[in-house]
Amino acid sequence: MVALGGGTMPTALVTGASAGLGRALAAALVSRQWTVVGDGRDAAALSAAAEEIGFTAIPGDVADPRHRASLAGACPSLDLLVNNASSLGVSPLPLLGSYPLAELENVYRVNVFAPLALTQLLLPALTASRGTLIDISSDAAVEPYEGWGGYGSAKAALDQLTAVLGAENPDLAVYAVDPGDLRTAMHQRAFPGEDISDRPLPSSVVPGFLRLLDERPPSGRYRAADLLVTA
């Protein structure tokens, strides 16, 4: 975990912090005395989460360059960046043969280009702190699930970007993490009308992410399920 030099609390930026995994990670970091900045597209939900948990809310869309600039301006020093905000795309999930290309472009804009662009802005701050970058991946990045070609291929692209960033920045800890199927609003959109209450809550995988911060293993791709085995 990041050392608390001179009594200064480490700082994290978590995108998509208004709900789901992002909110759970923000809550865990605040409980560990981190200063957390969180963003989200739903300003009301983000404000409610920030007030309850105790983090700084900056509402907006990570695909918007002006919003990314605002996030970077709020984090002159940074120890952890979690690129969690993402877009599922069209629901119900369409086959690739009929996927609307304009919608697919937006999936890539949110899931690939936005996290890379935000990372580029914050790379100097992360480098200065020898910090940690976590990009949220998916099992759909490596498994050919029918209907998941849009979201899955975007996450596969993010995985490769993450791997190269790790190779290019050896002083940083750079991770792509597959959290597994979770009980979130986005996952529900992937299965409209179905009961997903059997999926675990996002908070259940947070100890795996904290293990990455505590143990700082080599940069690479990790599954939360594997990290939880001995977390």
Query: What's the pLDDT at 107?
Result: 97
Decide: pTM greater than 0.85.
yes
Q: Is residue 130 part of a domain?
A: yes
9 DSSP 8-state letter: P
- Tens digits of residue pLDDT in 36-73: 999 999 999 999 999 999 999 999 999 999 999 999 99
Q: Is residue 2 part of a domain?
A: no
Query: What's the pLDDT at 5?
Result: 34
Rg (CA), the chain: 17
- Tens digits of residue pLDDT in 186-204: 655 656 677 657 777 888 9
Query: What's the pLDDT at 182?
Result: 59
| Domains identified in the chain, total number | 1
Q: Is residue 95 part of a domain?
A: yes
Domain span holding position 70: 10-229
Query: What's the pLDDT at 1?
Result: 33
Query: What's the pLDDT at 3?
Result: 34
Q: Is residue 170 part of a domain?
A: yes
Q: In what order do the strands lie in the sheet with 56-59?
A: 56-59, 35-40, 11-14, 80-83, 132-136, 173-178, 220-223
With residue 135 as reference, give the H or E element that holds it.
strand 132-136
Q: Is residue 127 part of a domain?
A: yes
Q: What amino acid positions are annotated as catalytic residues?
A: 151
Query: What's the pLDDT at 197?
Result: 72
Question: What CATH number has the domain bearing residue 151?
Answer: 3.40.50.720
Q: Is residue 4 part of a domain?
A: no
Q: Which residues pair with 66 in a beta bridge?
A: none
Q: Is residue 171 part of a domain?
A: yes
